[in-house]
Structure 1
Amino acid sequence: MHTMKRWSVDILVSEESEGDAARTWAEAGLRSEEGANLRGHGMARKHPADVDIPDIGDELAVSRALADLARQLRQAAAEDISDSSGGAWRS
């Protein structure tokens, strides 16, 4: 039997600058057809002395949001394994 599922990740990026400093926030939201709904968050800061290259802040913030999302997904899987097997999950 072959089964396909669709999981979607939406990424929102927000930037705020004040003078020479800037901050970028990212939120990565995971939705599955089965109803899973997780949100990862990440942030990046531009030092006032750094060259202003907004793509770098976007990349760092998004990568951190995805890493947070991956951590949460792994934790959810560990809890599901523990609940179904009665024992702790070992990676």
Structure 2
Amino acid sequence: MPVSKRWTVEVLIGEDHGNTSAVARLDTNDGTHLVGAGQARLNPADDDIPAIGDELAAARALSDLGHRLLLTAAADVAAVAEQPVHLTW
């Protein structure tokens, strides 16, 4: 597949006393900037394994980013089609 565009996603993760937050940022060649967010919280009964909190928070941030990208695409299609559009996940 020839590559003609590059979109960059950056995932930033922060931890604080059993709470993990992640932000996923998308930047595209055409100036689109979208942000998704995710959280994970350690259950006090579980062992503290930071990598698992990182994975959960990052996955949730990327999922949120994907949803926001789908909404952006639907709005762009609706603007071109001049009628409401419903894209499914």
TM-score by length of 2: 0.91
Aligned equivalent of 1:14:
14
Unaligned regions of 5+ residues in structure 1, if any? Answer: none
Matched residue of 1:66: which SS?
helix
Once superposed, what is the RMSD of the aligned Cα atoms? Answer: 1.2
**How many residue pairs are counted as aligned between the two chains?**
86
Q: Establish whether residue 53 from structure 1 lines up as the match of residue 46 from structure 2.
A: no
Aligned residue identity for 1:70: G
Q: Which has the larger radius of gyration?
A: 1
**Residues of 2 paired with 1:33 and 1:41: CA distance?**
22
**Residues of 1 paired with 2:86 and 2:80: CA distance?**
14
Q: Greater strand share, 1 or 2?
A: 1
CA offsets per residue over residues 7-66 of structure 1, 9 Å max, x none? 00000000001xxxx000000000001100000000000011101111110010000000
Give identity over the alignment, percent. 43
Unaligned regions of 5+ residues in structure 2, if any? Answer: none
Return the offset for 1:3. 6.4
Q: Establish whether residue 68 from structure 1 lines up as the match of residue 52 from structure 2.
A: no
**Residues of 1 paired with 2:82 and 2:58: CA distance?**
35
